[in-house]
Amino acid sequence: LSDTCQIPGTSSANFTCSASTKSSLSNYLYVFILGQLLLGVGGTPLYTLGTAFIDDSVPKHKSSLYIGFGYAMSLLGPAIGYVLGGQILNIYIDIQIPERQDTTYAVMHQDDPRWLGAWWIPFLACFFLIWLLIIPFSCFPKHLPGTAKVRSEKVSETHNDGSEWLVEAKNIGKNIKDFPVALLILLKNPVLMSLILASSSESLVATGFATFLPKFIENQFGKTPSFSATLGGLVLIPAAALGQIISGILVSQCKMDCKSIIKFMIGTCSAGLLLHTVFLFTKCGNDPFAGVSETYNGTGTLYNLTAPCNANCQCLLSVYYPVCGRDKVRYFSPCFAGCTSHLVDNMKKTYHNCSCIGIPKRGNASEDFLYEAVPGKCATQCKFLPLFLTTFFFAVVFTFMAVTPTTVAILRCVPDKQRSFALGVQSVFLRLLGTIPGPILFGVAIDNSCILWDIDECKSKGACWVYDNERMAYMLMGISAACKVITIIFVVMAACLYKPPPASAALPEKHAEMESAVHT
């Protein structure tokens, strides 16, 4: 099989469609699902029991500081994963690039759209590293020294709906049979549910961008997948960590109570909403693509890769190998560009005698004698990448400045004995309404912006080759803005619904806790 234009009768490029057979490789999808399930089972207690353990062991106004640093450190792993993972993608999935008679694969490199990186190497490395953490985690006691004194100095800020009295009077939480009643108490707490729904909306946006920001950068600004993943990691992770640390310090230094924390969240979410409009100002139009965004030098029609200049070339739609012509137009493959010959010099391939490629509009005329097309996409003319990365960095900072305050507000607005349970309920809602539908919703939006699908001669639909950049930007902006508005609405509801406990009720409780600590 050749990637160049073949003269009729010199080769057989007939494509025969056979009965579709389901590959056994699709069964490995369930292995990935099981792996994600196990990751969730192992990681969730760290963010529920671990966070409550921190809050239980430090003074009230310092808990936000420790939780903020704890959450920020939890992003260190993804930061390393993004950066190193992006570099590992430069390694071929089978380590050694296969040698094939197909000339399109003879010089395959990272810019090739069919390149598959070695995604499995980080999983293998993390397997051994995680096992090393079992020993230090198993050495922690049930309570740190001084916990009793810290508890005695805390004043309850539980939402005044009678739940705290009910939990203490009936001693709810000591038995597994109390699970339905304990769950119902939390679900009936309007402040807690408003904060949970607000954090779920934010989580939807965060996980969506964490998954698809590299694809957005790759398509909007013409970068390679590995470089786009690295850029995405360098923006998302430091910004998220910085936002959580800053908010933790502010809440701690200003000694904010529960009401003030919720008001602080309104400000950070509003700033994040304004900064997310960066998609409107940094969107890039599509680069010229023959047969997709423009015709073949005035011949042929849009959204039709076949034109008079390549009608007799027997080109296959299943072979996507983009080349950049000397006219700065991208072509689906050397065959669709009408190229009949190629040369390989120092592992660099060039194509010649291309009937579909026009004369360059400007540039050095002597370059015409060197090549007519080269493998890969044409260099993008969009210069908005620095502006986009800078603005989006601060948008992520303000977005994650609400994470630590949300956790602290949840810990304060529920009865003391239900703090871990409240974080567990929040974790369930985050998954069901945020982290699970987020990537799905963003994926559907990005698929809707596709203008050229991988559809072979058998009409089998594969991946998307080309996206409408402006449509993609508008879709992502619409989703993020809608979620931000929903977040602000629920945070405002939490601020309006929150009722602090009477001061007269908090003082006796403090004395009771001090007496209990003395007896202990």
In tens, the pLDDT along 15-43 reads 556 555 566 677 888 888 888 888 878 77
Report how far residue 247's alpha carbon sits from residue 264's, in angstroms, rounded to the nearest whole number: 9
Is residue 78 exposed (0-12), middle (13-18) or buried (19+ Cβ within 10 Å)? middle
Q: Which domains does the chain have, with CATH numbers?
A: 32-96+113-285+382-497 (1.20.1250.20), 288-359+371-379 (no CATH)
Record the pTM.
0.76
What does the mean pLDDT of the chain come to? 80
pLDDT at 515: 43
Residue 256 has pLDDT above 60, yes or no: yes
pLDDT at 202: 92
pLDDT at 219: 85
Residue 267 has pLDDT above 90, yes or no: yes
Residue 101 has pLDDT above 60, yes or no: no
Q: Which residue has the higher pLDDT, 520 or 231?
A: 231
Q: pLDDT tier at 269 (50, 70, 90 boundaries)? A: very high
Q: pLDDT tier at 305 (50, 70, 90 boundaries)? A: confident
Q: Which residue has the higher pLDDT, 127 or 510?
A: 127
Residue 196 has pLDDT above 90, yes or no: yes
Q: pLDDT tier at 301 (50, 70, 90 boundaries)? A: confident
462-502, pLDDT tens digit by residue? 778 888 888 888 998 999 999 999 999 999 999 999 888 87
Q: CA-CA distances (angstroms) from residue 137 to 132, 134, 236?
A: 10, 5, 28
SS3 assignment for 72-141: HHHCHHHHHHHHHHHHHCCCECCECCCCCCCHHHHCCCCCCCCCCECCHHHHHHHHHHHHCCHHHHHCCC
Interval 414-439 mean pLDDT: 88
Interval 431-453 mean pLDDT: 90
The sign one gets for the Cα dihedral 464, 470, 473, 474 is negative
